[in-house]
Amino acid sequence: LEKEKGISKNILFEALEIALVSAYKRNFQASSNVRVVVDRDTGEIKVFAMLTVADKVENSYQQVELYEARIYQPRCKVGDELELEVTPKEFGRIAAQTAKQVVVQRIREAEREIIYDSYADRVEDIVIGLVQRFEQRNIIIDLGKVEAILPAEEQIPRERYRQGERIKAFIKEVKKTSKGPQVIVSRAHSGFLKRLFEVEVPEIYEGIVEIKAATREPGQRSKIAVWSKNKDIDPVGACVGPRGGRVQAISNELKSEKIDIIKWSEDTEQYIAAALSPAKVAAVELRKEEKRATVIVPDNQLSLAIGKEGQNARLSAKLTGWKIDINSETQIAQERLSALGLGPVVVKPRLNPEMAPDLSEDAGLAEQTMDKHKTRPDILRQDLKLPGREQAADELKTT
């Protein structure tokens, strides 16, 4: 059994001894203080029990007469307890019948422990199995010695599976249950993306290129930030591979999921700007106490930076761990001008008509300012010589 099941001999002997204690108590009305010893070499079985010394024995399985007790312990007296061998002659047959079921159960439990330990050590690894069956929306995968569950929420949306199909998945969790170990796997987890890159990119496997962060919207788009310990190796190029072969293989495994590979940087502003790729970024301003970034992009890059339904901005925020507000250069310029009281040129009835020329002049200068000063810092620091607004401009400079 030790060779066949991979179970330690000691575990089997301990299970046998526990089973024999149970059998002895049940068949011989013994006291609770009983132990059984099985010789590891010969297989000989001996039963030992704690017996109470008595003048007259009423229950031979629980008591021993004083004269007999003094053979083993000369100074004992009535009421003392001694551990003596009490192995019955007929115990072998009874023990074999009673213990068989218990031993089989213990072997089954030991097998489950071995399987649990082997998969618990592989959490966050990739496994390959066959689609066994479907239970409601969950998929049961045959891994050989155990079945894994691919829950509906861990599947790639709109991905279809066939019975008997070979499938790769990421071990997310291993649980102990009354029915044995339960392996939970995922194809939607960002860890699956990381592991696929480790398999496809030798530089990552060898530790030259490091994955700093990854995030996904499964089946649609993902972003991964990488960094190289060797200045001569481009981490992005290593992940893309010759003719894009490496990243394409990963994308194919993820059902054509689009993958943005970002170069990680210690400089937070550079990192956030890179994370918004493929959009081009003009400037990044940080509010570190809030861990919030204001990103300024050219007007024609605004929709690209935000992405379809906000996807690019959302993934970038998850990748970097920063809240990101995206604004166009025009939006930022208008905000700065509004701070000077120069919002959009709208003549309201309550205004003095004589002010209209001034407003037109202000608006013209505002347009020139936006053309000339493309970033938020430029506009903040510019000495705006606006008619009738010199004091406000000076106040803005000092803030």
Domain boundary assignment for the chain: 2-118, 123-186, 278-399
pLDDT at 344 over 70: no
Half-sphere exposure of 144 (CA within 13 A, CB side): 5
DSSP 256: S
pLDDT at residue number 107 = 78
Distance CA(314)–CA(223), nearest Å, equals 11
Whether 352 has a pLDDT exceeding 50, the answer reads no
Pair 315, 223: CB distance under 8 Å:
yes
Q: Supply the pLDDT for residue 319.
A: 97
Q: Which value, in Å, is the radius of gyration of the alpha carbons in the chain?
A: 38
CB 217 within 8 A of CB 193: no
List the single range of 22-36, 39-53, 114-128, 326-340 with lowest mean pLDDT. 22-36
Q: Which residue has the tokens 């050590």?
A: 121
pLDDT at residue 279, as a whole number? 95
Q: Tokens for 339?
A: 């701070």
Angle in degrees, CA 56, 60, 66, rounded to 5: 40
Question: What's the number of CA atoms in the CB half-sphere (13 Å) around residue 72?
Answer: 13
DSSP H helices, the chain, are 2-5, 9-28, 66-72, 91-120, 190-200, 202-205, 235-240, 245-253, 268-275, 302-306, 311-320, 329-339, 356-372, 376-381, 390-398
Structure confidence at residue 315 (pLDDT)? 97
Q: Are 91 and 45 in contact (CB under 8 A)?
A: yes
- In the DSSP assignment, the letter for residue 206 is T
Residue 361: pLDDT over 70: no
**What was the pLDDT predicted at 27?**
77
Please give the pLDDT value at position 215: 97
Per-residue pLDDT for 155 more than 90?
A: yes
**Lookup: tokens for 255:** 């059902």
> Is the pLDDT reported for residue 360 higher than 60?
no
Which residue type does 256 have? S
What local confidence, expressed as pLDDT, does residue 1 receive? 63
Rounded-to-integer distance, Cα 283 and Cα 241, Å:
30
Tokens found for residue 3: 């060779």
What topology does CATH give the domain 278-399?
A: GMP Synthetase; Chain A, domain 3 (3.30.300)
Q: Is 186 helix (H, G, I), strand (E, B) or coil?
A: strand
What is the predicted pLDDT for the residue at 167?
A: 96
**pLDDT, tens digit (0-9, with 9 covering 90-100), for 261-271:** 999 999 999 99
> Residue written as tokens 């205004």?
351
Among residues of the chain, what percentage have pLDDT more than 70?
82
- Retrieve residue 325's tokens: 């507000």
Q: pLDDT band at residue 3, thresholds of 50, 70 and 90? A: low
Question: What does the pLDDT read at residue 10?
Answer: 81
Comparing CA positions, the residue from 158, 155, 147, 152 lying closest to residue 136 is 152
- pLDDT for position 32: 66
**pLDDT value of residue 354:** 38
> Is pLDDT of 70 > 70?
yes
pLDDT band at 17 (very low <50, low <70, confident <90, very high): confident
pLDDT for 343 equals: 56
In tens, the pLDDT along 127-150 reads 999 999 999 899 999 999 899 999
Close Cβ partners of 143 (under 8 Å, ≥ 6 residues apart):
127, 129, 183
Find the helix or strand (DSSP H, E) in which 209 lies: strand 209-217
pLDDT digits (tens, 9 = 90+) for 80-106: 988 888 888 777 777 677 667 777 877
Q: Per-residue DSSP letters for 44-76?
A: -EEEEEEEEEESS-S-TTTEEEHHHHHHH-TT-
Tens digits of per-residue pLDDT, 289-336?
A: 999 999 999 999 999 999 999 999 999 999 999 999 999 999 888 887
Fold of 2-118: N Utilization Substance Protein A; Chain:P; domain 4 (3.30.1480)
CA–CA gap between residue 148 and residue 129 (Å, rounded): 9
Asked whether the predicted pLDDT for residue 61 surpasses 50, the reply is: yes
The reported pLDDT for the residue numbered 341 is 66
Residue 364: which pLDDT band, with cuts at 50, 70 and 90? very low
Rounded-to-integer distance, Cα 134 and Cα 239, Å: 35
DSSP conformation letters of 119-140: HHTTTT-EEEEEEEEEETTEEE
Q: Which of 239-243, 276-280, 323-327, 329-333 has the lowest mean pLDDT?
A: 329-333
Distance between CA 301 and CA 305 in Å, rounded?
A: 6
List Cβ<8 Å contacts ≥24 apart for 242-248.
Answer: 246/200, 246/201, 247/200
What pLDDT score was predicted for residue 31?
A: 63
* Cβ neighbours, 10 Å, residue 238: 20
Q: Name 279's Cβ contacts closer than 8 Å, sequence gap at least 6.
A: 297, 301, 304, 305, 312
pLDDT score of 99: 66
CATH homologous superfamily of domain 123-186?
A: Nucleic acid-binding proteins (2.40.50.140)
Note whether 313 and 306 are within 8 A (CB). Answer: yes
CA–CA distance, 14 with 49 (Å, rounded to integer):
18
Q: What is the pTM of this model?
A: 0.69
Q: Report the C-alpha gap between 21 and 2 in whole angstroms.
A: 22
- Read off the amino acid at residue 57: V
Q: What is the arithmetic mean of pLDDT over 166-182?
A: 93
pLDDT digits (tens, 9 = 90+) for 175-189: 998 888 999 999 999
- 235 close to 263: Cβ distance less than 8 angstroms: yes
Establish whether the linkage from the previous residue to 344 is cis, with ω within 30° of 0. Answer: no
